[in-house]
Amino acid sequence: MVANRLLPLLLLTLLNVGALSAQHVEARFTTDKADYLADEPVFVALTVSNKTNRPVWLDFKSPDMPLLCNDFAIEVPGAGPAQEQWGCGFAGSCGRGFREILPGKSLSLRRLVNSQFRLQPGEFVIRAHTAIAVHAQNLLDSPQIDQFDVTDTLIVKLRRGNEDQLKAAFQPFVEELDSPDLMKRGEAAGAITALTPPFLEDVLVALTKSTYAYAAIQALRKADTSKTREALAQIATGTGDSTLRIEAARNLGRTHDATYLPILFKLMETDDKEIQNAASEAAGNLGGSAAVPQLAVLVSSSNVETRRAGTNGLGVAHASQDVPILIGRLLDSDGMVRQSAVSGLWLLTHRVAFEKDQWADVTSPQSADAVHQRWVSWWNSHKQDIKIHGMADCAPPESLD
């Protein structure tokens, strides 16, 4: 009897799923227009329409995941990368969920092409692709009722324009910073902070006081005007959010404006150890060999966090005199300082002491002493001809031996 009662319910469920999957969820890629100014925001939009009679939940499976957390991948043959080469290593998690579309509604997802690719004047082909899994429930373990690929080739042309024309192109994005629509506001802030036109320096400074402050601080450095550099210094030395002060100090260290080195030296004296560490790394980046004497003072401190800050700063200072100091830090009483020295030596020399196919252990004073001896021997043999590297030219490590 129970089985007889369950059978109609099961059949009804199967019929409902069949009716849903027999209808369509459609998707296509577009651009806002075909012709742009060079340095104007270029967006590709993926529009997904739910033409079924029920809500659906979508899981986007971009080909560039998990390295990048994007809903779809784009390629632009012939265009160079827009991202700066800086830092060694990458880690992160997308933490993604499903996207809901109600019956008869659409979802539009947009990506700023020239935040990833450097688009010069000329004609470009943009190839966009993703795979979409369709679910009938907002549950990660719910079965798929459909899956399909979306691929398109779009053509855009970029031409040179004057500053007035470019200001006019950016004006709608400036206005959308006041939009009540959170997505439009975020897209506008993203475009402005990614492309950082110098004539919007006042807008960038204002954005550092908004929810987009973190990205705006990086944009101040990339805009690289006297006003944006001064704004970085004011944030770094101010009394505001320590997270933003740290980010401002780090970016100040990448401005190539050595007149701000004394400010970073002053920040290295703070009792706030996180700011001290950020200032030390920034001073190393900005000052190079000129920062070594001040950083060397830190590594001789009795305070372990101060020694760690000095060691981290030396590791990015791009100066040959850093190497023997860091080799000495392999004998530090603190394991974290020893590991910071290993990382700094790798960055500066692209060399690592290996044990078989693993980095040699420095967690104990005994093992660290063995690594120290190997580094002393190597440095004595190679200090005259070794090339010193920095944060902009990371590479896989070579064996010390």
Structural domains of the chain in order of their starting residue, each with its CATH number: 25-83+92-160 (2.60.40.10), 162-252 (1.25.10.10), 290-401 (no CATH)
Supply the pLDDT for residue 65: 61
pLDDT of residue 294: 97
Residue percentage of the chain with pLDDT more than 70: 91
End-to-end CA distance of the chain: 78
Using pLDDT thresholds of 50, 70 and 90, give the confidence band for residue 12: very low
The predicted pLDDT at position 6 comes to 35
Share of the chain above pLDDT 90, in %: 82
Residue with the bigger pLDDT between 42 and 140: it is 42
pLDDT tens column, 74-94: 999 999 999 887 877 544 456
Average pLDDT score over residue span 253-262: 96
Region of poorest pLDDT, from 2-16, 191-205, 346-360: 2-16
The answer on pLDDT for 13 being more than 80 is: no
pLDDT number for residue 24: 85
- Given a cut of 80, whether residue 360 has pLDDT beyond it is yes
Q: How confident is the model at residue 362 (pLDDT cuts 50, 70, 90)?
A: very high
Q: Which one is predicted more confidently, 144 or 22?
A: 144
Per the listing, tokens 């470019």 go with 166
